[in-house]
Amino acid sequence: MTPVIETPRLLLRPFRETDAADVYEYAKDPRVGPIAGWPPHRSVGESREIIRTVFSMPGVFAMEVKADGHAAGSVGFVGRHPAGELPGCTDNEIGYGLNPAYWGRGLMPEAVEAVLQYGFTVLGYKRIWCGHYAGNWRSRRVISKCGFRYQFSRPEVVEEMGEIRQTYFYMQTMEEWRERVLGAL
């Protein structure tokens, strides 16, 4: 079950079907989905279906902005990682998306940092991955701010977009995260 995590400006919580209008508000924007590998949503109903399927997975959070109560984005674990599936592997990858109305406020790094802490301290991950497609410099900036280190890149098929894109992968170990967090205190 996905818990509720509070940060200074956000409540990271499970999605609710009543978030569909907020999700549609950002998911219909062509600046959001295509750069992340998915087409813009065409209706509130499509956003509701994504909430029921993709966003209902354990470890996926709605980013509720405390100041206005809107679900401004999503952040959480995608259930896989780019290093391949190994028996007993304790890795996962973080994915995220944010309404452009909230860009430039530092909300995504705040959310990713909270999810890193949850992944390392509660879920017991040893390594957490994050990636972005070529040209997604906003995502790259979040990755850098949150202490991930570049590992490798490779072309990948983006099935929903019918394209092959260069993908860049970054990783952070639990030990690196602890050193970074303790060093910031």
pLDDT digits (tens, 9 = 90+) for 54-97: 999 999 999 999 999 999 999 999 987 777 666 666 789 999 99
In angstroms, rounded to a whole number, what is the distance separating the alpha carbons of residues 27 and 68? 19
Q: Looking at the predicted structure, is the pLDDT value of residue 44 above 80?
A: yes
Please give the angle made by the CA atoms of 39, 14 and 160, to the nearest 5 degrees.
15
- Sign for the CA dihedral angle at 115, 116, 121, 122 comes to positive
- Residue 159 has a pLDDT of 86
Taking the whole predicted model, whether its pTM rises above 0.85 is answered as yes
**pLDDT at 185 exceeding the cut of 90:** no
User: pLDDT at residue 49 above 90?
Assistant: yes
Check: CATH 3.40.630.30 for 5-82+89-184?
yes
35 confidence band (pLDDT: 50, 70, 90): very high
